[in-house]
Amino acid sequence: MSERTLVVVPTYNERESIPVALARLAQHTPDVDVLVVDDGSPDGTGALVEKIAADEAATDSGRTISVLHREGKLGLGTAYVAGFRWALERGYDVVVEMDADGSHRAQDLTRLLAAIDDADLVLGSRWIPGGRVENWAKNREVLSRGANTYTRLMLGIPVHDATGGFRAYRAELLRALPLGEVSSRGYCFQVDMAWRSVQQGARVVEVPITFVERELGVSKMSRDIVFEALVNVTRWGIAERSRRVAGAFRKKEHVGA
């Protein structure tokens, strides 16, 4: 692989799942480096990854595993922003978001990386032809599909899976985005970043993935996370519509002048 690629994996109490995730990445994308952003996991996730990294370095595995230790649980969005900045400071060309719990399959990463050749942002999508979910309750699928439809209508972004967290960014796009302004804490972060990318004029591509329900550990999804996303998308959508209406009035006044 000619371009330097970094997979950013946020963790909080993922001691069971992170060794499996790292092993699968080594199997399917052995030349891709990994940064684990650990939010002070009480179960010792960060220390375990340090040991795995040292063991791989001793055997010259072909990739580098690094750990960014943070003090306390600071949220998914801030973990990714910290990982993005870490990657940009070290000159990576492509930066990938990926969960530690097995829900994002390492074999699908090759599909994202192939598509980034002709895009600025590649979204791993569950809700386009070829995409699917495994082991989900029907009500959760309805919630996710509904949330993405609502997001698409409110924000006017031409993507079908804006809430998904398996994606690849070109470094040039991340440098162009105001990362310091991204305040979304939970999964709303994914919508926030997709919307900002579209507004930036980025070439956004969706590729189908298979999303697998968490194999190990405990889900971080909560009502607060869902509520944050609903409130923010609604607020952003109203602001965007107000901006467009104001722009249309200004244009009309200019024409009539």
Which residues make beta-bridge pairs with 66? 35
* Cβ contact 77:189 at 8 Å: yes
Which CATH number does the domain housing residue 92 bear? 3.90.550.10
Q: How far is CA 127 from CA 39, 108, 120, 135, 189, in A?
A: 30, 15, 20, 15, 19
Q: What is the pLDDT of residues 166-222, one digit of tens each?
A: 999 999 999 999 999 887 776 789 999 999 999 999 999 999 999 998 766 555 555
Condensed to tens digits (0 to 9), the pLDDT of residues 51-103 reads: 999 999 999 888 999 999 999 888 899 999 999 999 999 999 999 999 999 99
170 three-state secondary structure? strand
pLDDT tens digits, 223-257: 666 667 778 778 777 877 776 655 555 555 555 55
What's the domain count of the chain? 1
User: pTM of the entire structure?
Assistant: 0.88
Question: In whole angstroms, what is the distance from residue 178 CA to residue 17 CA?
Answer: 32
Q: How far is CA 15 from CA 12, 78, 252, in A?
A: 8, 21, 60
Query: Exposure pattern of 94-104 as b/e (b: 16+ CB <10 Å)?
Result: bbbbbbbbbbb
Q: Which helix (H) or strand (E) holds 97?
A: strand 94-97
Q: DSSP assignment of 199-218, as one string?
A: HTT--EEEEE-EEE---SS-
34 near 7, Cβ under 8 Å?
yes
Report pLDDT for 251: 56
Q: What is the mean pLDDT of the chain?
A: 89
Tell me the CA end-to-end span of the chain in Å, nearest whole number.
Answer: 57
Domain that residue 123 falls in:
5-256
Lowest mean pLDDT among 25-39, 118-132, 159-173, 242-256: 242-256
